[in-house]
Amino acid sequence: MKIAILHGPRDLRIEEQSLNVSQLAPDEIHVKTIISAFKIGTDRGNYEGAEQVPGAPGYPRWVGDSNLGEVLAVGSAVKRVQVGDRIVTRQPHQSEYVMKESGSLARVPEGVEPEDAVYAHLYALSSLCYRKAFFQPGENVAVVGVGVLGLGAVALGPLFGARVVALANSPVRLDMAAQMGAHAGLLSNDPDLALKLDTFTRGAGIDLVILTANPWPAYRTALDIVRPNGRVSIVSLLGRGEDALDFNPLSMERFYTRGISLIAVSGAAGYLYPKNSVTGETEDRFSADRAAEHVLDLMADGKLHPSSLITHRFHYSQMVEAYEMAYRREKSMLGVIFEWQDA
């Protein structure tokens, strides 16, 4: 099998590794990758050697965590999937793999295109931005940072009952936000930003900001635009790869006196529904896999089309080229797919 391994900053190699599939354990699944998706922000940070994220492995390490494949074989005790099923997992960029049934996976419904389904877990994270912030239908939501994750939040917002405005530093990204269902789009450096947001919300203000961008100026924008007693749902790795701050991120005038809630979009969100009604066991009602299943259902219903954001498709052998484009921060690059079929 082939797998992408990062040996150090900007040292990514496609390597051949052995994979024994001759005898699966009872709880194991053998999967052949069809496509995998490139998470530009996170993967680029890893590639260029930004500071370590807590818990991240050292070098050499695998990369990627959005994988769609076909089940080739299952162990004798596997019940969640069967041979021939398509599944989306958080496995790395690799041609095939063996995983435990207890690992993170969601079965792809019939009729859902692979290039949509591969984004299921990423869009599940977008949905967590709403859920952890106790979103209420009818609220005004601003999405700051319009990459793939932010555009997922834009697309899900109207389905959840939000009025969504996208804030970006590029007109191209605002066009994409409009395509994904944003009710409005504004440049983050617009001198009339406050007035335009007031008009958009009919004076009610922005109830919830979803922050997907790492730079500190984006964080400052999020605090500036949210209404008093509003919430900022933070799914970015703030300050990653950025210069030292030139302002206090928790200044009294921006944070304390306005009663803002800052919410880290990490960990469980199903704490309101802690028990499985069938088994009685404690679980996360909205675990990553359950959220991914919900996203896949929306795709099956024809309400969600992440593939419309794909700007580049590469054969896996061209992966370094894709990472280098991301390293150069080419604005034309948004949705990126790696294809794993050999001629």
> What integer pLDDT is reported at residue 315 of this predicted model?
97
Helix axes 40-48, 148-160, angle to 10 degrees: 160
> What integer pLDDT is reported at residue 212 of this predicted model?
94
Q: Are strands 96-100 and 12-16 parallel, antiparallel or unpaired?
A: unpaired
Work out the burial of residue 129: count CB atoms within 10 Å of its CB; fewer than 13 is exposed, 13-18 middle, 19 or more buried: buried
Q: What is d(CA 244, CA 216) in angstroms, rounded to the nearest whole number?
A: 9
- What stretches in the chain show pLDDT beneath 70? 50-56, 270-283, 343
> What integer pLDDT is reported at residue 273 of this predicted model?
61
Q: Convert the pLDDT of each residue in 124-177 to its tens digit.
A: 999 999 999 999 999 999 999 998 999 999 999 999 999 999 999 989 899 999
> What integer pLDDT is reported at residue 278 of this predicted model?
66
Instruction: Give the residue among 42, 35, 41 at the shortest CA–CA distance from 67.
Output: 35
Q: How many CB atoms lie within 10 A of CB 292?
A: 27
String of DSSP letters for 301-324: TT---GGGGEEEEEEGGGHHHHHH
Q: What is d(CA 230, CA 236) in angstroms, rounded to the nearest whole number?
A: 18
For each of the domains in the chain, give its residue range(s) and CATH number, in order of start: 2-119+307-339 (3.90.180.10), 133-264 (3.40.50.720)
Q: Convert the pLDDT of each residue in 53-99 to its tens digit.
A: 556 678 899 999 999 999 999 999 999 999 999 999 999 999 999 99
Residue 155 — φ and ψ, nearest 5°? -65, -35
Alpha carbon 236 to chain centroid, angstroms: 10
Instruction: Give the residue among 297, 271, 39, 293 at the shortest CA–CA distance from 149.
Output: 39
